Amino acid sequence: MSEYRKMLGLVTLGLFLATVPSAVAATPSEDLSKTPAAVQETVKKAIGKHALAGVDKETDGGKTVYEVDYKVGDASYAVVVSEAGEILEHEVTIDPSALPAAAVEAAHKAHADGKVGEIDIVAAGGKLYYEIDVKVGKETYEMKINADGSVLADAIDKD
């Protein structure tokens, strides 16, 4: 099975699991209540009754977005929402052992002295890729890498 198909399967499974009803109710968040109404509405629909884990206001390309973390069982998910309430990205945190060898090699090649942190599979703009945090000294780089090891982005994470 190709690496792309494996990644697609993992994301599909993750997104499916995120929609399965859960007995865990979403915890009201002061942060969520401070977001625009459109964001609140989208988030409530996206996470359903799953446990809200946090809301971060960020800037992406000069625009304000909200990254909303939530839990489904022991799995960590996030949805990135524009101020207008549009879902821009879906993310699921994965175990480093699920990262394809080509993506691991690309991260090590770019930052040989770095330590790999959180790894997410991201679905955005009709594409799937890995988002890998690599800590080098005091800086954390956010790398976006395809399953074949091609690097889409590699920049210091300013958040």
| Domains of the chain as residue ranges with CATH | 3-93 (3.10.450.40), 95-156 (3.10.450.40)
* pTM for the model: 0.75
pLDDT computed for residue 3 by the predictor: 52
Span of 14-18, 23-27, 41-45, 78-82 with lowest mean pLDDT: 23-27
Condensed to tens digits (0 to 9), the pLDDT of residues 133-143 reads 999 999 999 99
Cα–Cα separations (whole angstroms), residue 9 to 4, 26, 98, 107: 8, 27, 12, 22
CA distance 117 to 111: 13
In this predicted model, what pLDDT tens digit does every residue of 53-98 receive, in sequence order? 999 999 888 999 999 999 999 899 999 999 999 999 999 999 999 9
Helix (H) or strand (E) holding 155: strand 151-156
